[in-house]
């Protein structure tokens, strides 16, 4: 399916299924840098990032609403019909920049016409957390697969937030390359 159609369908489905305290926004801008001027004042409003003012626009972003009007970006989904090397390099860099500001952010790609995650993703990626090739999934199940992925990434985001701002309680960290099928880890 074309990129804009995929964005629209997944946007609607996630908005309908996630519910409070989460909200999905299309075209949200997220900060990629926070600087101070020569009077040591922050030059951007972290609660109102604007594209072109130290912020990149995203296709879809899941926000977690908290007390006091705080909306933390948790999961970013960038959409491509078919993944190129340029896409991997570009979005990997964007993900790294956003994560310097939001260390709990999960960031990935949704490829609507690819049947597999291409090797170039593994070769050139160093900042993205996930990539899903939707053409391998029957259209009726695509929304469910993305929903499961987003819920798993929300859990990972909350755990990363605990590590970044709470008392870490881990004695092991590992990235699991076995999780190569939708929702299943290979044995």
- For residue 79, the model assigns a pLDDT of 95
Q: What are φ and ψ of residue 82, in 5° steps? A: -140, 135
Q: Is 128 exposed, middle or buried (0-12, 13-18, 19+ CB in 10 A)?
A: buried
pTM above 0.85, yes or no: yes
Residue ranges per structural domain of the chain: 3-165
Q: What 3-state class would DSSP assign to 37?
A: coil
Q: How far is CA 74 from CA 4, 25, 46, 161, in A?
A: 22, 11, 15, 10
Q: How far apart are CA 77 and CA 150, in angstroms?
A: 9
Query: Over the chain (187 residues), what is each successive 10-residue block's mean pLDDT?
Result: 79 89 94 91 86 90 92 96 96 96 96 94 95 89 90 93 81 66 49
Instruction: Supply 86's token pair.
Output: 């340029």
């Amino acid at each position: 399916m074309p990129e804009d159609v995929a964005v629209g369908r997944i946007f609607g489905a996630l908005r309908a299924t996630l519910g409070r305290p989460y909200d999905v926004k299309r075209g949200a801008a997220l900060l990629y840098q926070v600087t101070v001027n020569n009077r040591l004042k922050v030059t951007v409003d972290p609660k109102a990032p604007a594209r072109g003012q130290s912020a990149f626009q995203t296709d879809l972003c899941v926000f977690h609403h908290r007390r006091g009007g705080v909306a933390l970006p948790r999961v970013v989904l960038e959409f491509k019909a078919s993944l190129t090397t340029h896409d991997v390099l570009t979005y990997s860099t964007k993900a790294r920049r956003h994560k310097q500001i939001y260390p709990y952010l999960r960031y990935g790609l949704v490829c609507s016409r690819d049947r597999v995650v291409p090797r170039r993703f593994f070769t050139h990626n160093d900042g993205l957390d996930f990539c899903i090739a939707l053409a391998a999934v029957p259209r009726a199940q695509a929304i469910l697969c993305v929903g499961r992925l987003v819920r798993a990434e929300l859990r990972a985001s909350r755990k990363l937030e605990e590590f970044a701002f709470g008392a870490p309680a881990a004695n092991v960290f590992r990235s699991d390359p076995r999780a190569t099928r939708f929702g299943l880890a290979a044995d």
